Amino acid sequence: DTGVSQDPRHKITKRGQNVTFRCDPISEHNRLYWYRQTLGQGPEFLTYFQNEAQLEKSRLLSDRFSAERPKGSFSTLEIQRTEQGDSAMYLCASSSARQRGDHGYTFGSGTRLTVV
Amino acid sequence: AQSVTQLDSHVSVSEGTPVLLRCNYSSSYSPSLFWYVQHPNKGLQLLLKYTSAATLVKGINGFEAEFKKSETSFHLTKPSAHMSDAAEYFCVVSDSGSQGNLIFGKGTKLSVKP
């Protein structure tokens, strides 16, 4: 296990369609985070899990967005009824709770979503 | 609320010359500050972090940053730029209002000319 894996790398979808992204964190990391990065901006926090519990959600996460981490391992982020404004890079990161305050995030390479 | 401001959206230097990427932060307490680098089609990589220990922080690839509370700054420097340093750099503060989530600046694109 060499890092955080995200799938797919790229996704092009038509407006109104649903999309789902997957993130596989580093196996010993119990925290998992989703961020969104739009063109010319820094990443913005969306949500995070500790094990299978979703502990925090940003107000950026509208009702069309849902994230799960059913067994405390991989996570999925689903966007329903996609809009052009959803076009962005979706980044996943993981860390260990033991590193809280010391910060040990590892980011994946991201999934680039284009809504046409 | 915490925030960071990266003062330059784009910095261009010649190979072998010094690099300075500027960052100012806003925080009502002693923050944790970081610099990340993002190469095209690659994940964000942590360059260095400040967590209230030494104010001069050394990172990977010859980068370092100095925490200056009086100036609320955390500028990133490198004595001699290399072509491989060309990338997007983000100044980041840890969000005290959440479980250590990160607040990113808008980024500075570093170009290195041969």
Contact A8/A109 with Cβ under 8 angstroms?
Answer: no
* Tens of each residue's pLDDT in chain B, 114 residues: 788 999 999 999 999 999 999 999 998 777 889 999 999 878 899 999 988 778 899 999 999 999 999 999 999 999 999 999 999 999 999 876 666 588 999 999 999 999
3-class SS of residue A84: helix
CB-CB contact of A95 with A104 (8 Å): yes
Residue A25 contacts B where some CB pair is shorter than 8 Å: no
Percent of chain A with pLDDT over 70: 91
Q: What is the mean pLDDT of residues A77-92?
A: 97
Contacts of B103 in chain A (CB under 8 A): 45
pLDDT at B36: 95
Residue-level length of chain B: 114
Q: Which of B47, B88, B86, B39 is nearest to B65 (CA)?
A: B47
Name the strands in the sheet holding A19-24, side by side, starting at the edge strand that comes first in the sequence: A5-7, A19-24, A75-79, A65-68
Q: Are B91 and B6 in contact (CB under 8 A)?
A: yes
Distance from CA of B100 to the nearest CA of A (A): 7
Residues in chain B within 8 Å Cβ distance of A91: 43-44
Coil/strand/helix, residue B57: strand
Judged by average pLDDT, the poorest of A52-66, A75-89, B13-27 is A52-66
User: Please, what's the largest Cα pairwise distance for chain A?
Assistant: 42
- pLDDT for residue A65: 96
pLDDT of residue B95: 73
Give the model's pLDDT for residue B83. 96
pLDDT given at position A83? 97
